[in-house]
Structure 1
Amino acid sequence: MSGRHRLGTTMPAPEPAVRFPTREPVDFVIVGSGASGGILARELSTAGFDVVVLEQGPYRTAADFSHDEMVNFIQGEMTSHPGWNDPQTFRDDPDAVADANANGGLPPALYARTVGGASVHFSGNYWRMRPLDFKERSLLGPMSGTGFADWPISYDELEPYYTRVEWEIGVSGEPGPFDPPRSKPYPLPPMPVKSSGVLLEKGARALGLHPQAAPVAILSQAYNGRPACVHCGFCMGFGCEMNAKSSTLATVLPQAEATGRCEIRPLSTVYRVDTGDDGRVDQVRYYDAQGAEQAQKARAVILAANGAETPRLLLMSASSAHPDGLANSSGLVGKYLMGNGHSTLHATFDEPVNDWKSIQVTRIIHDFYETDPARGHYGGGGIDARPLLNATPLMHALTETGMGTPRWGKDFRRDVDFGFSHHVAVLGSTTSVPLERNSVSLDPTVTDDKGRPALRVTYRDHDDDLAMMQFLQDRGEEIMDAAGARRTWREPVVPQTLLAHLLGTCRMGNDPATSVVDAAHRSHDVPNLFICDGSSLVSSGRGQPTLTIQALAFRAADKIIEAARNNEI
């Protein structure tokens, strides 16, 4: 299978600006082209290094995207492997046998397989972490039975890179009352407020809370040669046909290719990273578009494949020199998986809301961001209002499960018609405590069509995370009631079995015994192997990690370039 896909058809991939021979080493191979991989590719190639980006998904462009709900949601075209069956298994207990059907057939680790990665189909919410997120262990003390730890870097050190992301890719917003210090304003004004934002503001202000404009990686005005958002309503789960969403596909990857030093190889599924007799990485093995085995020689390798695929690849790269997996002398590769907690409240109003229009989120509430001991549990988070899956007609009909709603007949049709135009969802996004039992590992019995061990997810939310989800759901109901909701109903707060945020599985730290990479994202074990994606995070933040992942990528690129120029790689 080759090319890129649209509605089940095959289209030719763009001709690469440069092609590197596989048997001659390039300076860097980057595995993954998403939020972090795209930035690293741009930074390294513009610095004069030869870069090959290996991406398991096809090379789609804005012209290939559509509003087809069957293709995007039901068939999972962007999240399924494009060439073969690649199952995942799930269990909530490390002593249980994982099951490929435990999640109703849905993959427990949800991510896009396409050039640009999850930045192509995400909703674009772009919160910064705060200074406390980097040192909560010192502020609050230990949490028994967890891997609760401080980061080896501070907010102040990362702040210039937060600003760099916002200005280089294009983020719309304005500072709110609880925002951390910043060195520059947002480059673009906030997106226009939509109905759900107006209602969230109304209810929040009635309760003495402080709603603010949501920062989003979507253009409110034309910026850097890209057009402004047209408010089509198809953001979450869809690629942007206008290139107004600030994905790496629309921003840094074209700039990387324009250098003539970066080759993006789509439909290239990596299955092993090899090391030579000197203990250094020397090549990356992958299946090409035809399913044939290939290997790209490299002087250094950067894994940016996401917090599930990166540890999977390290574990599949076990050898006599690395019997427990590459870069895994600590035994922590794949451990401390964090997914952020989420809870959902639904509300309907007497008057039409029509929240299917425009982007998902225009207003947020961060009054509950910090941990408050008076709550009786760890954790904090944010609240937003949005249509959620009710933004698109088919998914609204399939998920319209309001209290007492029938599942068929004229009453079902009545409720679906009413709900589509009168519905608002309130989402609570929270912390996720790092637990060693929560992990990504290799399934011992289930394999994909190429014989690779299936990705096995073991996960159960900490009780404090569940309590914080419930706390934010309670506040969401109070806000909607204060806004004049006609009716509210809740989705049960239960341990999560589907994770779209995949964090912490190759954590950063100064001690090789308790971390996988150092503060510069270099493996403690292999000097020319770097890991920079959601797996590097030490703590989860409060629910929207992509901006932090990209800030870390810009910082990592500076560190890697400096080391390479000093012949330290």
Structure 2
Amino acid sequence: MSQPKSSPVFSPRQHETAAALFERLFPADDGLPGAAEIGVMGYLENTLTGYAQEDAPAYRQGLDCLDQAAVDLTGLHFAACSDEQKDDLLKALKAGELAGFRHPTGPDFMDMAIGHMQEGVFSDPVHGGNRDKLGWKTIGHPGVWLSHSPEEMIASEPVTKGGRFQSLEDLKGLNFTRPDGQLPVPPQFDPDAGLNPPDGEADVILIGLGMLNSVVAPLFAEAGLKVVALEAGPYLSRRDYIPDELQQAFYARASLGPKFNSESPRWRRNEDEPTQPATYSLGRMVNGVGGSSYHYGTWLRRFHPHHFRARSRIRENGWDHLLPDHSPVVDWPISYEDLEPYYSRLEWDIGISGVSHLPRIPRSRDLPNPPSLPYRFGEVFREAVERMGLQPYPIPSGVNTVPYRGRPATTYSSWTCGFGTFDDSVWMPAAECVPKALETGNLDLKARCRALRILADDSGRARGVEYFAPDGQVHVQRGKCLILGTYMWENLRLLFLSHDDRHPGGLGNNREQLGKNVMTKNFAHVLAMFPDQVFNRHAGSASQSVILEDFLYEDFDAEENGFLGGATISAEPSSNPLSISRETPPPDISAWGAKYKEFVRNWQHLAMLRVQPETLPHTHNFVDLDPLYRDKSGLGLPVLRITYDMRENEHKLSQWMEDKCEEILLEMGGQNPWPGPRFTGVGSCHDLGGIRMGEDPTASVVDPNLEVHDTPGLFVFSGGVFPSCPGINPSLTMMAMCTRAAENIIHRLTNNDIG
């Protein structure tokens, strides 16, 4: 037990209470260390004096309330109670049964403490916990390794790297710069260009140089157009990639997205409820040139042809009675055939790895690279579902499996997804597309410049953008054509904030369609234990995942199932220590205590299947500006307010898919499958809708070429324009759609048809 001591955060009594609390959350037993020996208190104090210092008052309040409850109920301070008494108090705390807790509530305080316990035990030692890598050693995770051999990926015994446990400290000599000696960013990039005032009117203004605008930037520049790009973040490069799960992973602190984190939306399930901070499943966004492609999972898949005919398919099959009230499902105004040439071009420009001959997905040519190497968990899954008559296949991925266009083949690391690329095998537009645009001399890239509002003239046409420069100056960049290409939430916010006399509700909102038909994905999942099998899910990357699309095909019968839509089911590798600690335990095990510790120690025998579902639009799911809350950027602009919940159709779909996952896990040899949470967050990285694309200006925001109906000259390149939300990763379709629209813009500009 840690003794009371001087603390920068706690009084001696609070420190003693906290140390006793964490030792019960992760207790020492069977000769294995607990929270005290692992150094969780050191981690906590580092965190509450740094990253989470705003939580310190709530922590002190919670510790005081816990100690007082112990005195009231047992006559002893919490630290002096027996282990059994402490556990009883913590169970009551989690259940909200201890008196005195108001803010934080008992359950909220317990959840906060559990989260910090997991981070203190399992994050890299650089953060003050996981002393001597004892957390990793306790569960047998070898830590940070940036490559795995084919034999390790398929091994049936634990992959231990010879008993070596590797952390950031062990990698400090690793050269995180390009092995070919190239500069970390293109030599044509001027990091201080944002300090220069605007230099006349641009042909094209790219508002945000995230993934989509990065992909189209060379198209405009190579066409000889004058292009200005305003990007709120820096030009990130390989020197910024650090395999630090706590600090950089999108499911943890997501430090590569400081702007996104400072303007995170508020959320409520229904209109009559108060808001709370938005929750996230797959995570938060990156701010910087190339956007969230820095940490994307590299899954680059095509939508199926029928996904572009959602309403017609319902009508043709007689499924109208299954369509929920207040669900305005529509067809896309463009077809699969319209996008197929762009799918094919992008697949070859990127170098997508995968299998080409897939049922129901017509293509004009094969993928350029072979699929990823197999891994044990994926093979067990594949064999089981094939016995069930299903058709699994390896995910199409933006990771090189063989050398391609100057990039090497992948070294297969679980530290690739969410951290950048340490071996240059991952396609990222900041490294592949933006340099091409800069080389033309036609792209003026102004990094660290934040767009404040889009400006329209008296006729309602978009003419420029007001932006905040790195030195605090506010400038106006004029242009013939403006392309809004930030992330979906920020696209919506800028459109709302750019209201004027001709657009009193925001640009694109004269027919009150802006923010409507928002769709996101909640990734239900099912887990099972395999006592006699070892999966080594840490010895591989997300690009090796094996998926099922059988429940997405056009003949997946809505009438028989009783709901509309389908889903992807996936078996994914890539397990790092912190993510392992957050896996959902079985219903009879809490996320703390001796049984939780045993559960985490058995991570090698744990398997999980994830569901990526289709989501219908619902009129009760929408976005507007929050009337009260402001961002923390220093500008104090309103944040978004998301009103969103899973509706009955989506619950039916998830339940069916969860049952199917359980059936598959049992066929694989798993025992006693159990579901994880179904609602996993209102933000998912697959957030779509709100800026609907359509022919009818009364029912959509942008036209089929992505131009805003009521604001000519303004285009939106975003998944926000999607009319529907298939259970497929949207990135490739977003890029194909925007490349098509960019070509239309180039044609119009060269013919003086814009501006």
> 1:504 deviation in Å?
1.2
Distance in 2, Cα, partners of 1:286 & 1:14:
24
Match of 1:4 in 2: none
Match of 2:287 in 1: 113
> 1:67 deviation in Å?
0.8
Match of 1:442 in 2: 625
Distance in 1, Cα, partners of 2:606 & 2:469:
45
Question: Does 1:433 find its partner at 2:619?
Answer: no
Relative to structure 1, the CA distance from residue 434 to residue 411 in structure 2 (aligned partners, 3 Å threshold; closer, same or farther) is closer
Secondary structure at the counterpart of residue 512 of structure 1: coil
Match of 2:258 in 1: 80
**2:220 alignment partner, one of 19, 24, 44:** 44
> 1:395 deviation in Å?
2.6
Match of 2:297 in 1: 123
**1:459 alignment partner, one of 622, 644, 653:** 644
> 1:108 deviation in Å?
10
Question: Does 1:136 find its partner at 2:314?
Answer: no
Relative to structure 1, the CA distance from residue 375 to residue 228 in structure 2 (aligned partners, 3 Å threshold; closer, same or farther) is same
Question: Does 1:546 find its partner at 2:731?
Answer: yes
Relative to structure 1, the CA distance from residue 495 to residue 501 in structure 2 (aligned partners, 3 Å threshold; closer, same or farther) is same
**1:27 alignment partner, one of 196, 203, 215:** 203
Partner amino acid, structure 2, of 1:479: I
Match of 2:560 in 1: 374
Match of 1:362 in 2: 545
Question: Does 1:385 find its partner at 2:568?
Answer: no
Distance in 2, Cα, partners of 1:343 & 1:276:
47
Q: CA contact under 8 A between 1:312 and 1:334: conserved in structure 2?
A: no
Secondary structure at the counterpart of residue 527 of structure 1: coil
Distance in 1, Cα, partners of 2:344 & 2:203:
28
> 1:13 deviation in Å?
7.5
Secondary structure at the counterpart of residue 370 of structure 2: coil
Distance in 2, Cα, partners of 1:108 & 1:124:
13
Question: Does 1:470 find its partner at 2:667?
Answer: no
What TM-score, normalized to structure 1?
A: 0.92
Partner amino acid, structure 1, of 2:577: P
Distance in 2, Cα, partners of 1:138 & 1:39:
32
Structure (1 or 2) with the greater strand fraction: 1
Distance in 2, Cα, partners of 1:189 & 1:284:
44
> 1:464 deviation in Å?
1.2
Distance in 2, Cα, partners of 1:107 & 1:90:
14
**2:267 alignment partner, one of 90, 97, 104:** 90
> 1:409 deviation in Å?
5.4
Q: CA contact under 8 A between 2:522 and 2:682: conserved in structure 1?
A: no
Structure (1 or 2) with the greater helix fraction: 2
> 1:398 deviation in Å?
3.8
Partner amino acid, structure 1, of 2:331: D
Instruction: Please list, as runs of the form range in 1=range in 2, the aligned pairs for 1:324-363 lying within 5 A after superposition.
Output: 324-349=505-530, 350-360=532-542, 361-363=544-546
Relative to structure 1, the CA distance from residue 61 to residue 69 in structure 2 (aligned partners, 3 Å threshold; closer, same or farther) is same
> 1:16 deviation in Å?
4.5
Q: Which moved more, 1:351-360 or 1:310-319?
A: 351-360
Distance in 2, Cα, partners of 1:200 & 1:346:
13
Q: Which moved more, 1:227-236 or 1:154-163?
A: 227-236
**1:503 alignment partner, one of 681, 688, 693:** 688
Secondary structure at the counterpart of residue 653 of structure 2: helix
Relative to structure 1, the CA distance from residue 190 to residue 412 in structure 2 (aligned partners, 3 Å threshold; closer, same or farther) is same
Distance in 2, Cα, partners of 1:547 & 1:131:
14
Match of 1:3 in 2: none
Aligned residues with identical type, % of pairs: 31
Distance in 2, Cα, partners of 1:75 & 1:130:
35
Question: Does 1:308 find its partner at 2:492?
Answer: no
> 1:341 deviation in Å?
3.9
Distance in 1, Cα, partners of 2:185 & 2:402:
30
Relative to structure 1, the CA distance from residue 13 to residue 145 in structure 2 (aligned partners, 3 Å threshold; closer, same or farther) is same
Q: CA contact under 8 A between 1:108 and 1:457: conserved in structure 2?
A: no
Secondary structure at the counterpart of residue 249 of structure 1: helix
Tell me the matched-pair count: 554
**2:581 alignment partner, one of 368, 379, 397:** 397
Distance in 2, Cα, partners of 1:407 & 1:503:
32
Q: CA contact under 8 A between 1:306 and 1:502: conserved in structure 2?
A: no
Relative to structure 1, the CA distance from residue 380 to residue 294 in structure 2 (aligned partners, 3 Å threshold; closer, same or farther) is same
Distance in 1, Cα, partners of 2:283 & 2:528:
28
Partner amino acid, structure 2, of 1:93: N
> 1:189 deviation in Å?
0.7
CA deviations on 1:148-184 (whole Å, 9 max, x unpaired) are: 0001111111100111111112211113543410001
Unpaired runs of 5+ residues, structure 1, are 1-6
Q: Which moved more, 1:370-379 or 1:397-406?
A: 397-406
Distance in 2, Cα, partners of 1:85 & 1:131:
39
Q: Which moved more, 1:406-415 or 1:217-226?
A: 406-415
Distance in 2, Cα, partners of 1:466 & 1:293:
47
Question: Does 1:250 find its partner at 2:431?
Answer: yes
What TM-score, normalized to structure 2?
A: 0.70
Unpaired runs of 5+ residues, structure 2, are 1-125, 128-176, 178-183
Q: CA contact under 8 A between 2:522 and 2:678: conserved in structure 1?
A: no
Q: CA contact under 8 A between 1:59 and 1:115: conserved in structure 2?
A: yes
> 1:534 deviation in Å?
0.4
Distance in 1, Cα, partners of 2:599 & 2:522:
29
Match of 2:242 in 1: 66
> 1:547 deviation in Å?
0.7
Distance in 1, Cα, partners of 2:639 & 2:442:
34
> 1:497 deviation in Å?
2.9
Distance in 2, Cα, partners of 1:260 & 1:109:
35
Question: Does 1:493 find its partner at 2:669?
Answer: no
